[in-house]
A = this chain, B = another copy of it.
Amino acid sequence: LTAHAERTFFRSRWVERPPAVMELDADELPAGFRAAGVACGIKGSGVLDLGLLVADTADCVSAARFTRNALVAAPVEVSRRADLAGLRAVVVNSGNANVSSGAEGIAAAEAMVDATARGLGLPSERVAVASTGVIGIGLDRSVVLEGVAAALVALAPGAGEFARAIMTTDRAPKYATLEVSLSGGPVRLAAQAKGAGMISPTFATMLCFVETDAQLDPATLDRLLESAVERSFERISVDGQMSTNDSVFMLASGGAGVAVEPGTEDEQLFARAVDSLLKQAAIAIVADGEGAARIARLVVRGAATAAESVARSVANSPLVKCALYGGDPNWGRVLAAAGQVMPEVDAASLDLWIEEVQVARASTAVPLADSERTRIAEAMREPEVELRLELGGEGEESEIYFSDLGHDYVTLNAEYS
């Protein structure tokens, strides 16, 4: 890991570098996987816009998670009907989210699945589909099917073009490959993510594809993904908006011939690697969101079960987010956003820290020394700002990562569709 320190994927101070892990070239996929990224003309001008991920092992197992928005895109509706524990391939297009397009949208998503399955000699239920991009415009079926045909012949062990083909307004591709040393030998774990660029008229969409050549049973894989998603993509907020397209797929090819058995130390090591990988991917999505200049981590503790809703209220407060954008230590807004969702608890007992400096005690301003003011002002200009809020009393702890709200967000999201 040290040798790669200058180009490590793990750039956030909030992500533990997983133990027993070495970072490989992000282009290298785990054994048993091939991928492709091609330009089929959805975006125009030769930009990669169709990705295909395939596991070549017949006994590949998988797990998946989707948006909880009641309004879902056609690809989510179609993928939910697939054999989500036994996926062998996922086909993805960017440039068009295939949302609100009625029966034609469903038919287009099904056609993507069917063409992929036919080309790979697989039953359709072992292929899933995802889309990200503009909405309200029909996805041209013939264009996207040409892309599928091109991707099928372009499949190769590299992840780079796939990682680029799923991008929309991401400033850079987000992908990494790790080697995890288990008792039975090394396994590989890779992820490619795209994040919440929300250029009008795009919905915020988060997609993540995770591959490993470790052998796992479907129930263990599902549990590992559930846990990692809860600690990563479920802990971020760009603007409190839930996409119609959010999807996470994890496939285990077994190609390394090394099993991860439930309840073993290997499982713990592997789980920590998955956690760190997805957490860093999630933070990269926040940091890249809508032209964000600065992100914050907020840890909330106490007041019985209020921590989670308080954390979300603060993270989604446009006043808090504008202050973060301005590098403004305007902590009263944090208390006000907290008070907004805690009518039943004692709002007079809030303690707040910016980094290690306590700024409020019992909901009242703490007199600060000049050195403390300077420390806070400096901290607020860093790319990652740490906030801690104690609600008083016993209770749960909840953490959330959120981006600022700046002019780029407004500019990007006010453009004509």
Contacts and interface: CB of A to CB of B under 8 A. Distances in A.
A337 B243 CA distance: 9
Contacts of A105: 364
Interface string A345-356: 111101000000
B100 A326 contact: no
Contacts of A198: 319
Contact of A332 (B100, B326, B363, B407): B100
Contacts of A325: 410, 414
Q: How many copies does the complex hold?
A: 2
Interface in A83-124: 99-102, 105
A197 interface: no
A143 interface: no
A162 B295 CA distance: 42
A340 B67 CA distance: 9
B319 A241 contact: yes
Interface in A163-205: 198, 200-201, 203-204
A264 interface: no
A350 B102 CA distance: 12
A392 to B, nearest CB: 12
Contact of A340 (B241, B413, B416): B241
Contacts of A72: 339, 347
What is the predominant secondary structure among interface residues of chain A facing chain B? loop
Contacts of A239: 318-319
Interface in A64-80: 68-72
Interface string A377-417: 00000000000000000000000000001110111111111
A241 B100 CA distance: 30
Contacts of A360: 100
B318 A70 contact: no
Contact of A326 (B240, B323, B414): B414
A343 interface: yes
Q: Which of A99, A101, A336 has the most CB of B within 10 A?
A: A336
A149 B243 CA distance: 56
A330 B70 contact: no
A362 interface: yes
A335 interface: yes
Contact of A318 (B240, B323, B337, B350): B240
Given A102-B364, A363-B100, A365-B136, A318 B71 contact: no
A134 to B, nearest CB: 9
Interface in A293-339: 316-319, 322-323, 325-333, 335-339
Contacts of A132: none
Contacts of A416: 326-328
A342 B242 CA distance: 12
B322 A242 contact: no
A135 interface: yes
A417 B319 CA distance: 12
A131 interface: no
A390 B199 CA distance: 27
A414 B363 contact: no
A204 B344 CA distance: 22
Given A200-B322, A333-B203, A409-B318, A71 B347 contact: yes
A70 B317 CA distance: 16
A180 B338 CA distance: 42
A330 B201 contact: yes
A68 B343 CA distance: 7
The 3 closest A-B pairs by CB, nearest first: A71-B339, A326-B414, A322-B413
Given A198-B319, A241-B317, A326-B416, 14 more contacts: A70-B339, A70-B342, A71-B338, A71-B340, A72-B347, A102-B364, A200-B323, A201-B330, A203-B319, A240-B316, A241-B340, A318-B409, A322-B409, A328-B414
